[in-house]
Amino acid sequence: MGLPFPFSAIVGQDDMKLALMIAAVDPTVGGVLIIGDRGTGKSTAVRALAALLPKLNVVPGCAYNCDPAAPGGLCEACRMRHETGTLSVALAPASVVDLPLGATEDRVVGALDLERALSVGEKAFEPGLLAKANRGFLYIDEVNLLEDHLVDLLLDVAASGENVIEREGLSVRHPARFVLIGSGNPEEGELRPQLLDRFGLAVEVKTPSDVPARIEVIRRRDSFERDPQSFIERWREPDEHLRDQIVAARAALASIETPDTTLESTAKLCISLGTDGLRGELTVLRAARALAGLRGDRKVTDAHLRQIAPLALRHRLRRNPLDQAGSTVRVERAVEELFGA
Ligand SMILES: [Zn+2]
C-alpha cells in the first residue's frame, strides 16, 4: 500500500478537505460525495485523512475491529469472549476499504454458507467488506457506475450502523459503522436524485487551473514519491495540528450551543431553496456544529451556516428549468439573500 500522503500537504481542494474533516468529527452527517475529474487526488485524500486520525482501540484478530471499551456494540465472537473474560486491546489505524466496481453482493455484505449451516448446523459466515470497514471509511470510486441496489444497500447500512444478512431463515448481524465516501465523475453518468440526497455532504473538485497551484501539486507529489519518509516528516506538525483540531471538536461536540436563531436561519434557507424533507436541514445543522467544533467555537453562528450550506445542500436541489445557474451558485445566492452579501 505504501505510506499515505500527508493530509495537510494536499494543495487547495478546501471544500473536500473540510467535508472529510467534518465527517471525521461527526459521522452522523452522513457520507461525503466527491464529484470531479479523475486524478484530482480523491482517494489520496481519504487515505490521508484516515492516517491522520488517532488510532483506534480494537480487539486483536476481530474481523470487525470491535471496540473493547464498548460492550454494547460487539460482534458475536467478541461478546462471547467478553462474557467469559476480558478482551485484549490493540491499536489500529482507522481502515479505508475500497469497494471495487463489479463486487458481488456476497463480497460486500459477507457470505453465509447455507449448505454448511443446514448440514452441520453451524453458522458459517465469511465477513465481507462492510465488516472490514467498521469504524473506518468505505471508499467507492465512481459510485455513479455502481448498481443502484448496491448503493441503496450501502447507504442503508451506513445509516443504521449495522449489517444484517438474511438468507433462508438464517440471519447474521454485525456492527458496520463507517463513513461512506463516494466519488463520481459527472461525465460518466448521474446518480439518481434519491441517492444523491442520502449523501450528507457533496463537494466538487477540479484540477487547479492556475499555474502556481499546478506547480505546487507536482512539486509536492514528486518530492513525496522520491522520499516519502522525509516528506511526511516535514508535514508532521501541520498534520498533528489538524488531528488535534479533530480530536478537540469530537470532544466538544455535545456541548456546542445551537441557538434558536440558527435553527430558524437553517429552516429559511432550506425553504427558499425548496429542498425536500428534513434531511438537508439536519445535515446543515450537524455539519455547522462540527465546523464550530473544528474552529474552537462554543456556539453555532451564521458564519458557520454560510460556509456549510453549499456542501450540505447543493446536491439536494430540484432542477429548476427557469434557473440554469449551477446548484452551487443557487445555494450561494440563497445564502446571500438570507444573510446579506
Ligand atoms: Zn468483534
Residue type for 148, please?
A: D
- Ligand 1 centroid distance, CA of 137 (Å): 17
Q: Is the pLDDT of residue 195 over 80?
A: no
Catalytic status, residue 279: yes
Mean local confidence (pLDDT), 216-245: 95
Does pTM top 0.95 for this prediction?
no
Rounded CA-CA distance 236/233 in Å is 5
- 284 in Cβ contact with 308 (< 8 Å): yes
- 54 in Cβ contact with 91 (< 8 Å): no
CB atoms within 10 A of CB 117: 18
List C-alpha distances in Å: 265 to 117, 155, 202. Answer: 55, 28, 21
Among 243, 250, 279, 306, the active-site one is 279
C-alpha cell at 158: 451506513
pLDDT above 90 covers what percent of the chain?
54
- Ligand 1 centroid distance, CA of 98 (Å): 21
Residue with C-alpha cell 466527491? 34
| Residue 275 pLDDT | 83
| Residue 176 pLDDT | 93
